[in-house]
A and B are shown apart, each in its own frame.
Chain A
Amino acid sequence: MNALATRRRHPAAIAVLLLLGLLVTGGAYSFLAPKDANAAASAAAADDVAKGKDLFIANCASCHGVGAQGTKSGPSLVGVGAASVDFQVGTGRMPLAGPNVQAPQNKVKFDDEQIAALAAFVASLGPGPAIPEEKYTTVIEPGTPENNKAIAEGGEIFRVNCAMCHNFAGAGGALTRGKYAPALDGVTPRHMYEAMVSGPQSMPVFNDTNLTPESKQKVISYLKAQENQTNVGGLTLGNLGPVSEGLFAWVFGLGILIGCAVWLGKKAA
């Protein structure tokens, strides 16, 4: 103990103590953190709808009601369609971890088969938008003139209908009272399409009359083309516009130049 005490003023003591504290906290968390309940996996039925119903009662009924008719804490799901379920559960937004202004994107809790069963059950409650056909969720690749034209059209549709919330580059934006339009990079084409037809959370519904399936496909293709292109200008700073540029100019531009000025001032004449 005495040997340790003599080193307590060593310059590295604080760093070692911090490291120790972090390790203990992190280790304790990994032991004590709540584990996912696996009740859903045990439910099994031959019929998709029946299996979906079991899953629904086990995981969703506490908020949406046993018959999906809705309760004080969750809306009715009659008529929301399979697309809505596939989007909400497939992106991990549902089941909701806790009440919040908006369901955040989260770790997906079910496998594809279970999600399909849940979707089939909810679709059986009343007619609603279905999971999109694969031909509309296939991304149009740039290359040929007509493909390029389709992507450019998708860009125009995106700027007129989506950019005001999701930002010009799909980087996301703020809505009122803590709600937000999420960033769109990394979202699968199918989930994008389903979001457009089902209008989750604050998002409006873009049905097939005001935005044809082909137009939706173009919007998705534009976003993917933008996501896949090389950043010709260098680092994008999150594509957040002048705010991040201004911050960069103040912190790095001014910082580096003042550093140079101090260095130059120190140089003997």
Chain B
Amino acid sequence: MSTINETRPADALRAGDRQADEHASATKPLGGIAGWMDDRLGGAKGVSFLAKKVFPDHWSFMLGEIAMYSMIVCLLTGAFLTFWFVPSATQVVYDGSYVPLQGVTMSDAYRSTLGISFDIRGGLLIRQIHHWAALIFVVAVFVHMARVFFTGAFRKPREINWVFGTILSLLACIEGFAGYSLPDDLLSGTGIRAMNGFIQSAPVIGSYLSYFIFGGAFPGEAIIPRLYSVHVLLIPAILVGLFTAHILLVFLHKHTQFPGPGRTNKNVVGYPLMPVYIAKAGGFFFIVFGVIALISAVVTINPIWAYGPYDPSPITAGSQPDWYMGFADGALRLLPGFLEFETFGFTWSMNIFPGSLILLPLMWTIIGVYPFVEAWVTGDKREHHLLDRPRNAPTRTAIGIAGISMYVVLFLAAGNDLMAIKLHLSINDITQTLRVLFFVAPPVAFWITKRICLSLQRADRQKVLHGRETGTIWRHADGRFEEIHAPLTPEERWVLVQHESLEPLELTAGKDANGVDSPIARKERLRAKFSRFYFRDRVAPATPSELEAAHHEHDDHAAALDGGHEAIEPAAAGQERETVKADKQHG
């Protein structure tokens, strides 16, 4: 039975109509389920665009993926935990199955977290996966960030995406802090106590701000539900939204690639998303999930039952925040107490304030604006899709390492008590040493890193001009010894000579004919000064003419030696292009 009138089909009436032709032309060459979907969603064009997207291959490009996948693991396990977690500071008496706490009065938040750990099937494992995934998430975010920085992947057109990433990394830390403060055990309560101190250190408004956030005096009953909303709703929403923008921009910009033969700023050499990267990335998700689950199954994290319930009077030795907040805790431990003073009836807690409310915004602002500073100094307005090898940008690499050394000093300071007991040192000595290192380590790290980079560049030059040292020593008939150098292949050589070597900017705007300073002269002088700082002691890559000269020398040498084993093969056909490029660069 059908509602269609077989004897008088409607189409028959329209035979020869224009509409029929139109219908035929609108039919897409897709069949089956894909066609059915496309007729309704119209996604075929976009999907085929994405599927053909090419990605370059390198392990360090997967650091961001580790972050993405551990974030997804956090979202999944977090949803599980919300089924049982009660975000409430209401006092209850514990009667669950963990013996050493039976009969103890505690908050409902702590009781429900104990419940998840001991009385919900699989609860402890999921809780540990959630926490380990969070730690690994922030680790991966920071390492990914370092990779992008040291390879110069933040340069035009990716500055905005770098800023997005910067905000994402800050949000990840705050999200983590809000999370580990929720169970209301002794350690997390101590963390909230520290946060209260942070807020109160704000000059003049500190105590008002604290009352506003805690809904009264510390600890009160408001902070846990408030942190819960922030942790499960507000920050995840921003995090996921911003992350989507972050990854869409990666698609839009195309992925950066390391230099190599055939790789330019105008192409991407790699494999398409479909099927290669879909399989690789999909598989990698399960690897990340599996590794995190394995760690969570065998290693305890945050044993809240051992800490006991929070109560403002007790505290435990070794109270530290999770690692990503460690540097702020370290700053507090290093700031000397004498910085606090009083004027006009107000207390200025300069012993806390710089480490608490200044440090985080300052650090992330510096990170966020760096691409713009470097772009201004170099005056480079071109797009860059080829990555720098860190040694080829010595000043940038050195700045990065100097910043990291400062961060590491603060980070180590957060564990000063554990270093003291485990290494049998005095905590006072460690603190004093780290105070000095905070100022001394960055310039030393800067200098050492820059020298190492320049040396590596010089070594590259040597390698290009004279070949690779083989370690084989020859003794000649006349008794001389000589080390044999093996020539590089054109592919190997290309990687070592392809990069640009920026030179310090020359002053362009000076005085005019009447000896009057041009309006931008001051700015330009400053810029030239910075440019000198960046590029003064550069090592230029070997140019084709230098290479040529080296060849001749070797050839003469080899001819005289009668063995000729050091002779470099005549230039291959592929070298033509390289020669032209590098000569242009040099000129």
Q: A173 to B317, Cβ gap below 8 A?
A: yes
Per-residue interface assignment for chain A, residues 229 to 249, with 1 indicating a CB less than 8 Å from any chain B CB and 0 otherwise: 101111111011111111111
Q: Tell me the A245-269 residues at the B interface (CB within 8 Å).
A: 245-250, 252-254, 256-258, 260-262, 264-265, 267, 269
Q: Give the number of residues in A that approach B within 8 Å (Cβ atoms).
A: 64
B330 to chain A, nearest CB (A): 11
Is B313 among interface residues, defined by CB-CB distance under 8 A?
yes
Q: B320 to A241, Cβ gap below 8 A?
A: yes
Majority secondary structure, A binding face: helix
Could you say which residues of chain A place their CB within 8 Å of the CB of B271?
A: 269
Is B118 among interface residues, defined by CB-CB distance under 8 A?
yes
Binds B, one of A24-32, A58-66, A86-94, A174-182: A174-182
Given contacts A174-B317, A178-B425, whether A261 and B101 have CB atoms under 8 Å apart is no
The 8 Å CB contact of B302, one of A172, A225, A231, A245, is: A245
Q: Once the chains are docked, how many angstroms separate the CA of A56 from the CA of B59?
A: 68
Q: B427 to A178, Cβ gap below 8 A?
A: yes
The 8 Å CB contact of B104, one of A142, A152, A160, is: A152
Given contacts A152-B102, A174-B421, whether A257 and B136 have CB atoms under 8 Å apart is yes
Could you say which residues of chain B place their CB within 8 Å of the CB of A232?
A: 117-118, 124, 300, 305
Q: Once the chains are docked, how many angstroms separate the CA of A252 from the CA of B301?
A: 14
Q: B299 to A234, Cβ gap below 8 A?
A: yes
A206 to chain B, nearest CB (A): 15
Q: B300 to A237, Cβ gap below 8 A?
A: yes
Is B171 among interface residues, defined by CB-CB distance under 8 A?
no
Report the number of A-B residue pairs with Cβ-Cβ less than 8 Å. Answer: 208
Give the size range of B's interface with the partner: 35 or more
The 8 Å CB contact of B417, one of A173, A260, A261, is: A173
Q: B323 to A231, Cβ gap below 8 A?
A: no
Majority secondary structure, B binding face: helix
Per-residue interface assignment for chain B, residues 305 to 335, with 1 indicating a CB less than 8 Å from any chain A CB and 0 otherwise: 1111001011111111111001000000000
Q: Once the chains are docked, how many angstroms separate the CA of A248 from the CA of B301?
A: 10
Q: Once the chains are docked, how many angstroms separate the CA of A167 from the CA of B187?
A: 11
The 8 Å CB contact of B99, one of A142, A176, A252, A260, is: A142
Is B186 among interface residues, defined by CB-CB distance under 8 A?
yes
The 8 Å CB contact of B303, one of A148, A163, A233, is: A233
The 8 Å CB contact of B421, one of A180, A222, A254, is: A180
Q: A249 to B139, Cβ gap below 8 A?
A: yes
A149 — nearest CB in chain B belongs to which residue? B103
Q: Tell me the A17-37 residues at the B interface (CB within 8 Å).
A: none
Is B292 among interface residues, defined by CB-CB distance under 8 A?
yes
Q: A164 to B318, Cβ gap below 8 A?
A: no
Q: Once the chains are docked, how many angstroms separate the CA of A252 from the CA of B103?
A: 38
Per-residue interface assignment for chain A, residues 197 to 228, with 1 indicating a CB less than 8 Å from any chain B CB and 0 otherwise: 00000000000000000000000001001100
Q: B295 to A252, Cβ gap below 8 A?
A: yes
Is A110 among interface residues, defined by CB-CB distance under 8 A?
no
Could you say which residues of chain B place their CB within 8 Å of the CB of A152?
A: 99-104
Q: B301 to A245, Cβ gap below 8 A?
A: yes
Could you say which residues of chain A place their CB within 8 Å of the CB of B303?
A: 169, 233, 236, 239
Per-residue interface assignment for chain B, residues 79 to 114, with 1 indicating a CB less than 8 Å from any chain A CB and 0 otherwise: 000000000000000000001111110000000000
Q: A177 to B428, Cβ gap below 8 A?
A: yes
Q: A177 to B66, Cβ gap below 8 A?
A: no
Q: Once the chains are docked, how many angstroms separate the CA of A67 from the CA of B102?
A: 51
Per-residue interface assignment for chain B, residues 210 to 225, with 1 indicating a CB less than 8 Å from any chain A CB and 0 otherwise: 0000000000000000
Is B192 among interface residues, defined by CB-CB distance under 8 A?
no
Q: A164 to B103, Cβ gap below 8 A?
A: no
Q: Once the chains are docked, how many angstroms separate the CA of A235 from the CA of B295?
A: 10
Q: B300 to A159, Cβ gap below 8 A?
A: no
Q: B66 to A261, Cβ gap below 8 A?
A: yes
Given contacts A174-B421, A239-B306, whether A148 and B415 have CB atoms under 8 Å apart is no
A166 to chain B, nearest CB (A): 6
A-B residue pairs, 4 tightest by C-beta: A173-B317, A246-B323, A233-B300, A178-B426
CB-defined A-B contacts under 8 Å, sample of 25 = A145-B102, A148-B102, A152-B102, A155-B104, A163-B315, A166-B317, A168-B307, A168-B316, A172-B421, A173-B417, A177-B426, A225-B100, A231-B300, A234-B297, A237-B300, A240-B318, A241-B316, A241-B318, A243-B415, A254-B139, A257-B140, A261-B65, A261-B66, A264-B284, A269-B280
